[in-house]
Amino acid sequence: MSINDINNAAAAMNALKERYEGFLNDADAQIAQRQGQYDALANDLKGVIRSEAAFEATVDPDVENPVGGDGGTYNSLRGLIDGSPKGSLVFANLAAGKTHYLDANIGLAGRKLFIRKAGVGDRPVLTPNVAVTAGSNECKRFTDLNGGLISISDVDVTMPPKVDEALGWHAFYYCLVENYLSPSVDFRLNLSKFTTDTGGTLVSANRGTIVNMSLHDATIDGPGFAVKQVGGWGVALIAKRAVTLLNGASLQQGGTIGVDVLENGGT
pLDDT number for residue 266: 46
Query: How much of the chain, in percent, has pLDDT values that exceed 70?
Result: 82
Q: What is the pTM of this model?
A: 0.77
Q: What is the pLDDT of residues 4-28, one digit of tens each?
A: 766 666 677 777 777 777 777 777 7
Higher pLDDT, 116 or 211: 116
Same domain, 230 and 141: yes
pLDDT band at 199 (very low <50, low <70, confident <90, very high): confident
**Which structural domain range is residue 73 located in?**
54-246
Residue 71 in contact with residue 55, Cβ under 8 Å? no
Q: What is the pLDDT of residues 211-221, one digit of tens each?
A: 889 999 999 99
**β-bridge mates for residue 246, sequence order:** 221
Q: In the 8-state DSSP scheme, what is residue 160?
A: P
Same domain, 234 and 131: yes
The domain total for the chain is 2
In a domain, 131, yes or no: yes
In a domain, 48, yes or no: no
Same domain, 196 and 144: yes
Same domain, 15 and 114: no
pLDDT number for residue 86: 87
Residue 164 in contact with residue 132, Cβ under 8 Å? yes
Same domain, 219 and 105: yes
